[in-house]
Every structure is written in structure tokens, then in C-alpha cells.
Amino acid sequence: MSVGERRLIREASFGLTNKLWQVSWFYVLLLCALAAVGYAALYSAAGGSPEPYAAKQILRFAFGLMLMLSIALVDIRFIAKMSWVAYAGGVVLLILVLKMGHTGKGAQRWLDLGGMPWQPSELMKIALVLALAHWFHKASWERMGNPLFLIPPAIAVLVPVGLILKEPNLGTAVITAVVGGTIFLGAGMRWWKVALIVGLIALCAPLAYNHLHDYQRARITTFLHPESDPLGAGYNIIQSKIALGSGGMWGKGYLQGTQGHLNFLPEKQTDFIFTMLAEEFGLVGGLALLGLLLFIILGGMFMALRCRHQYGRLVALGISMNFFMYVVVNIAMVTGAIPVGGVPLPLVSYGGTAMITVMIGMGILMSVHVHRDVEFSDGRDEG
């Protein structure tokens, strides 16, 4: 081996070590703490056993953690170059779902990839953030005021939203649209345009209601009047509210939740896992979990603020908003504030696609943090 080759190896090793030092290990610790809460909740959901939920979940998290740290070491400029490639791949997967996806619970949302069912709509949200951040990188205030400049990214949002609606998956479609809209705002879109769009959506709501699937209309009716069908469509939310209320201030104790362990509480390992935790640990435990989730969201926002380049700021903003929407929709759903929609609580609810997707997003967020001071030669040349 020549002297030059040895020098290159030493430089590469130093660069890798330096990047590892730049990783926010406190943020990694927060994610591990949230995953530990998820393990404890899934252990309880199985009646005090690691099978069939907790053991699989912790293995998925271990894989996701390695994946996250690997992505964190990838130069954010390379990720920027792959932004539209990722977007195109996501759209192709969404089309494949409609053509050959698996159907479950009345919706065609899953693809069998490597022997494991995946929801491409989850990956699409991350790809959309990357693509929009690439488009708006270094866009001037004047350019953001040009409607023609906003048409291509608007189409980039509408295409996946439309494909996700056709699955149908209203909850994920709404989250995708909100995440996309957040990138528009973060890039400098005028507020009056946002207000105009929201107003148009509100005007179209009655028309959209007529085009909803029967089960989606039933969810809205159940949300407004859950007591009208207490043993049918309203059963889930009624039992969720009973479990939340029965927990009181301090809860019934770990593994002592009656609603969950007597199987009154539906989907306690997935959609309603927060309810089960609140029953066992009460209001104090529920608020503690919300505090941990808030720290993770604020940590992502802080990384966005510290980043010196627009691409990284927008990516960090979009990924943090995606995590935020997971939390808000799930908590609002189980407390009866919005119709039940099947959105998991990140790193706590049982599920493979959501877990790995969240960890991929966190890896990209960490890459933004590690490479927060890098120079982008030109925003329009990065793809």
C-alpha cells in the first residue's frame, strides 16, 4: 500500500470519527427512551409477555437505530442529489400499490417487499419532504411570490396525495398534504395564499364528503354521535374514553389496566396504545409521554434552526412536522377529538413500516445536523 493510499484511509477514518462526534447523542437517547416506553407498553398489551409484540418491536428498533446512524453519516449534499429520485421511486411504489397491493381492512395500502408488508405512503412523505426542500433551496422571496414557480411543487404534492386517497387512506393523505404545505410556508410562501387555499378546501368539504367511501362517512358520523352505535361503529372510541377516564390521576398500575387486559380496548397494541398507557399510568403518565414526544419534536426544530443551508432547514422542518402530525392525529383520535383514522403513535405503536420509516426520517434529520455547516455550491445544481 502506497503512502498516498494510507493517507486517504487516515483522512476517511478521521472524517467518519468526526461525524460520529457531531451526532446528537442526546437526541438518540430521547429516541431510545421513547422506544423503551413502546416496549413496556407492548409487553403489557400482550398480558405481561414479550411475545408477540414487544420482542419483534425492539428488534425492529435496533435495526432502525443502525439504519438511522448509517444515514446520519451520509453527506446531506448526496441526499439532496437523490431527492427527486426518491420522489419518483415513491410515486412508482404508490402506483404499484393500486395495481398489485394487498388489501386489508377495506383498503389497498400494502406492498410485499422482502417478505414484509410495507406502506409506500409512509415512505412517500419523507421523499416528498426531500423533493420540495430541493425545489425551494435558495428560492428568493421574489421567486416565492411568482405563482408559476409554485405550480410544479404544488403538483408534486397533489400527485402522491391523490394516489394515497385512491387506496383509500384519508388520514395519511391529509398528513402528507399538511407536511407539504409546511415546506411551502417554511420556504416563504405568502400567508394570504395559505389562507386562500384553506378557504377553498373548506368550501369544497361538503362536495368531498359526498365522494368519501362508506366506511369514511361512518367514521365521521361515529365521531359526531358515537353513542348511536355503541356496540358497532362507536365501540372503539367509547371504550377508549372509558379507559382514559378510568386511569385517573396516577393510573391503575403497570399491567393492571382492566380495559386493556380484559380486551375491551380495541387495537391496544397499535392505534390505541396511548389509551392503554394512560389507563395504567394515569394523567401523569400520559403527560410524561407527551412531554417526551414534545422534546423530540422541539429537538428536530432546533436542528432546523441551527442548520446554515436552506435545504437542511426545510428537510428538518418537514421531518419534524411529519413526526408532529403522527403524534397529534393519534392523540386526537384516541381522545375523540377527531374521527378514528388508523394513525400510529411513532416508536410506541406496534408496526414495522411506521417504525422503519420514522427511523429513516430521523437518520436524514441527523444527517442535516451532522452536516449543518456544509456549503451548497448552488441550490439548483444539487439534483
Domain ranges in the chain are 25-374
In angstroms and rounded to an integer, the radius of gyration of the C-alpha atoms of the chain is: 22
> What is the value of pTM for the model shown?
0.89
What is the reported pLDDT for 6? 55
Q: Please return the burial class of 232, using the count of CB atoms within 10 Å of its CB with bins 0-12, 13-18 and 19+.
A: exposed
In DSSP terms, which residues pair with 51 in a beta bridge? Answer: none
pLDDT tens for 29-78 read 999 999 999 999 999 999 889 999 999 999 999 999 999 999 999 999 99
Give the count of beta carbons closer than 10 Å to the beta carbon of residue 151: 10
Cα 151 to Cα 76: distance, rounded to the nearest angstrom = 26
In DSSP terms, which residues pair with 110 in a beta bridge? Answer: 102
What is the reported pLDDT for 232? 58
Cβ(90)–Cβ(124) under 8 Å? yes
Mean pLDDT, rounded, for 14-42: 91
pLDDT tens for 214-238 read 666 666 666 555 665 565 556 778 8
Mean pLDDT, rounded, for 187-192: 81
The larger pLDDT score, comparing residue 182 to residue 199, is at: 182
What is the reported pLDDT for 222? 61
pLDDT tens for 302-359 read 999 999 999 999 999 999 999 999 999 999 988 888 877 778 999 999 988 889 999 9
Q: Across the chain, which distance is largest between two alpha carbons, in Å?
A: 80
Cα 131 to Cα 174: distance, rounded to the nearest angstrom = 18
Tell me the CA distances in angstroms from 216 to 209, 223, 340, one per residue in order: 9, 11, 9
What is the reported pLDDT for 223? 59
